[in-house]
């Protein structure tokens, strides 16, 4: 399953972790030095929610930001009851 928001199109982006060693100058050291840079991925905060899409209820993957903005239209609550046997 791809990690892409179905409403905003937000997807994982590339970044890097910067490894440093040494004590910062303001803390009394001689300064920090970069020892390694490794690749990493920043993943979107995706949630699987039931939503109304083109008039039908289905599950979609959307980011938390899209849910907070109100871009997701939630389906109405089901209120059917068991048919009474008479």
pLDDT tens-digit profile of 28-85? Answer: 999 999 999 999 999 999 999 999 999 999 999 999 999 999 999 999 888 888 888 7
In the numeric block, which tokens belong to residue 5? 């928001």
Helix (H, G, I), strand (E, B) or coil at 66: helix
In the numeric block, which tokens belong to residue 83? 């048919």
Helix (H, G, I), strand (E, B) or coil at 49: strand
In the numeric block, which tokens belong to residue 52? 């109304």
Work out the average pLDDT over 12-25.
Answer: 96
- Note the pLDDT of residue 30: 94
Residue 33 backbone dihedrals phi, psi, to 5 degrees: -125, 140
In the numeric block, which tokens belong to residue 32? 């920090």
Q: Where along the chain do its domains lie?
A: 13-69
In the numeric block, which tokens belong to residue 54? 């083109």
Residue 86, pLDDT > 80, answer no
């Amino acid at each position: 399953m791809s990690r892409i928001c179905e409403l905003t199109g937000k997807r994982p982006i590339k970044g890097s972790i910067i490894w440093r060693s040494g004590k910062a100058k303001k803390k009394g050291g001689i300064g920090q030095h970069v020892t390694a840079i490794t690749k990493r991925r920043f993943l979107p905060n995706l949630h699987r929610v039931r939503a109304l899409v083109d008039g039908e209820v289905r599950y979609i993957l959307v980011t938390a930001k899209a849910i907070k903005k109100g871009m997701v239209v939630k389906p109405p609550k089901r209120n059917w009851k068991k048919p009474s046997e008479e």
